[in-house]
Amino acid sequence: MTDFVKKIEAQLVSWRQSFHQYPELGFMEYVTTYRLGKELEKLGFSLHIGDDAIDPDARLGIPEAEDLIAHEQEAIDAGVDESWMKKMQGGLTGLVATLDTGRTGDHVAFRFDIDALPIKESTDESHLPFHDAFASKSTGVMHACGHDGHMTIGLGVAAYIASHQTSLKGRFTLLFQPAEEGGRGAKAMTAKGWLDDVDYFYSGHIGIQSLPVGTIAATTEGFLASSKLNVSFTGVSSHAGMRPELGRNALLAASAAATNLYAIPRHSDGITRINVGKMIAGSGRNIIPGEAYMEIETRGETQEINDYMLTEAKRIIQAAAAMHQVSCELTSVGVTEEMVCNEELIQKIKHACIGGEYVKEVLPKAQVSGSEDASFMMNRVQENGGKATYMLFGTELKYPHHHPAFDFQEDVLPVALETFVKIIEGGSKID
């Protein structure tokens, strides 16, 4: 196993840097899906793409049609085969790769997210991707959360399974999930039934906490349930000097909503969060703004607490609209659930990683925050009697996730791969 990881180490770096150069936003990962698929094809996996991989009707926050069409043409120009594009058309990105050894054993699933963020990457010489000429080639889009590393690790796991399948038992499902950012893609893959009969489910994240390379956490605790909303306010434009009384100010409604959202009383049963992340309104200083738009999110330690925050947020938004005599439309564009790792997997992972060359320390648990839509997959597995966990893979973090200069130490890639490989050997190797 160690020889395998060593042999593939340079390939991991090459894959990561290639993915980093071509980041794509959620449900527009056409080139990414295609590149992943061609590698997995060579390894002999059965591939499921388009509506074979995800339930189209379970998606949230689908990009505007004109954006999808424009990026589809860009993907074709970048070399994506038109037969693949036909299956992915309309934002049906991501894929599922399966391999059945034909021998009785556990069904083990792994999830790797593949989308990027709407962030302009740093051009500072101290930023390694820029300095080493593998920075994003897509203006305003960047892998600023490590997903380029996640899918690289996924290809490494696939390569191991393919090359060792004669000594393995059971079935393997690798989910290369679109649109993790904003909590949009996992629900659509889960709705397709991929997690319904899984015995063990593993996912994880590079970073989140700044930890030494070689340190991993077997489980995590603290991810919050969340809801994402887009809000459109529609009022009436008018001349601000001559007939202001005829106007209905959508900007003031949005502003009133934004400030009062932060006044929601916190819940006594646990952690809550609220954020107004974007607001656009108005067209000129002498015009009563007739339209306004904002993007918000709520979070809660449990589903019940998040539901409380969401209910209060909707009430405040609607009240602000009524106060300024404008209408409002609320659209759900993302959601995540609370998730709890199976603690019995701690010893399983610790035992599997004994003697690892790359894994130096296994922490039983890491405290985290934020939200993860892998929660849908984990919860479905656990509902059906399976076990699931979400791990962390340590790296130094000079800048936080979602920062223009975010980067991770590439030495974490073989650490994560060794972790997954040892887990596979610990449960799926023929006795």
CB-count exposure of residue 429 (10 Å: 0-12, 13-18, 19+): middle
Catalytic residue among 148, 181, 199, 295: 181
The size of the chain, in residues, is: 431
132 is catalytic: no
What is the C-alpha to C-alpha distance for residues 150 and 251, in angstroms, rounded to an integer?
40
CB 234 within 8 A of CB 309: no
113 is catalytic: yes
Distance separating the N- and C-terminal Cα atoms of the chain: 16
What is the C-alpha to C-alpha distance for residues 363 and 218, in angstroms, rounded to an integer?
6
φ, ψ of residue 106 to 5 degrees: the values are: -70, 155
DSSP H or E stretch at residue 297: strand 291-300
Q: In what order do the strands lie in the sheet with 291-300?
A: 272-281, 291-300, 225-234, 327-336
User: Of 335, 428, 416, whose CA–CA distance to 379 is shortest?
Assistant: 335
CB 37 within 8 A of CB 84: yes
For 30-56, what is the HEC assignment?
A: HHHHHHHHHHHHHCCCEEEEHHHCCCH
- Say if strands 220-221 and 200-210 run parallel, antiparallel, or are unpaired: unpaired
CB 387 within 8 A of CB 198: no
DSSP 8-state code for residue 175: E
Question: What count of other Cβ atoms lies within 10 Å of the Cβ of residue 55?
Answer: 15
Structure tokens at 232: 């459109």
What is the C-alpha to C-alpha distance for residues 412 and 163, in angstroms, rounded to an integer?
22
∠ CA 181-185-188, rounded to 5°: 160
CB 345 within 8 A of CB 238: no
Catalytic residue among 24, 29, 72, 113: 113
CB 96 within 8 A of CB 173: yes
What is the C-alpha to C-alpha distance for residues 12 and 163, in angstroms, rounded to an integer?
16
Q: Indicate which residues carry an active-site annotation.
A: 113, 181
